[in-house]
Chains A and B, each alone.
Chain A
Amino acid sequence: MAEMWISMGPQHPMTHGLWTLKVKVDGETIVDADPELGYLHRSVEKMGERRKYFMNTTLTDRLCYASSTTWTHCYVNSVEELMKVEVPQRAKYIRTIMLELQRLASHLMWAGAYMPDLGHITGALYFWRDRELFLNLLEAPSGSRLLYNYIRIGGVKRDLPDGFEAKTERVMKLFEQRLDEYADLFENSKIFRMRTEDVGKFTASQAQNLGITGPNLRGCGTKFDLRKHDAYEIYDEVDWDIQTREAGPGYGDCFSRYMVRIDEMKESVRIIRDCFKKMPAGPTLASQIPVRAQGEAFRRTEDSRGEALMYVVGDGSDRPYRWKIKSPMFTTISACPHYLKGYKVADIPAIMGSIDICIGETDK
Chain B
Amino acid sequence: MEITSFKQKLSSCKGVTDVSVIRDNVVKLNLGNKESKDFFIKLREDYGFEHCSLITAIDNQPEFELVYHFSAINGSIFVKDSPSAVMVEVHVFLERDTPTIESISDLWGGANWHEREAFDMMGIYFIGHPDLRRVLLPEGFAGHPLRKDYVYEIHEEEW
Interface residues of A, Cβ cutoff 8 Å to B: 37-38, 41, 43, 45-46, 205, 208-213, 222, 224, 226, 228-231, 298, 300, 307, 309, 311, 313, 321-322, 324, 326, 330-331, 334-335, 338, 363-364
Evaluate contact between A209 and B54: CB separation under 8 angstroms. Answer: no
Given the known interface contacts A46-B145, A309-B53, A338-B109, the answer about A230 and B114 at a Cβ–Cβ threshold of 8 Å is no
Q: What CA separation (Å) do A298 and B53 show in the bound complex?
A: 12
A37, A210, A212: the one within 8 Å of B135 (CB) = A37
Evaluate contact between B73 and A224: CB separation under 8 angstroms. Answer: yes
Interface residues of B, Cβ cutoff 8 Å to A: 25, 50-54, 56, 58-59, 67, 69, 71, 73-74, 83-85, 87, 89, 108-114, 117, 121, 134-138, 145-146
Q: What CA separation (Å) do A16 and B115 show in the bound complex?
A: 25
Residue ID in chain A nearest B112 by CB atoms: A334
A-B contact pairs, 6 of them (CB 8 A): A46-B145, A208-B51, A210-B109, A307-B53, A311-B69, A331-B110
Main secondary structure of the interface of B (DSSP, over half): mixed
Evaluate contact between A311 and B52: CB separation under 8 angstroms. Answer: no
Evaluate contact between A335 and B135: CB separation under 8 angstroms. Answer: no
Residue ID in chain A nearest B122 by CB atoms: A322
Residue ID in chain A nearest B58 by CB atoms: A322
> How far, in Å, is B144 (CB) from chain A's closest CB?
11
B58, B108, B138: the one within 8 Å of A209 (CB) = B108
Evaluate contact between B53 and A326: CB separation under 8 angstroms. Answer: yes
> How far, in Å, is B90 (CB) from chain A's closest CB?
13
> How far, in Å, is A5 (CB) from chain B's closest CB?
16
Evaluate contact between A208 and B50: CB separation under 8 angstroms. Answer: yes
Q: What CA separation (Å) do A330 and B25 show in the bound complex?
A: 25
Evaluate contact between A41 and B109: CB separation under 8 angstroms. Answer: no
Evaluate contact between B54 and A311: CB separation under 8 angstroms. Answer: yes
The 4 tightest CB contacts between A and B, nearest first, are A211-B110, A334-B113, A229-B85, A210-B109
A38, A46, A228, A324: the one within 8 Å of B54 (CB) = A324
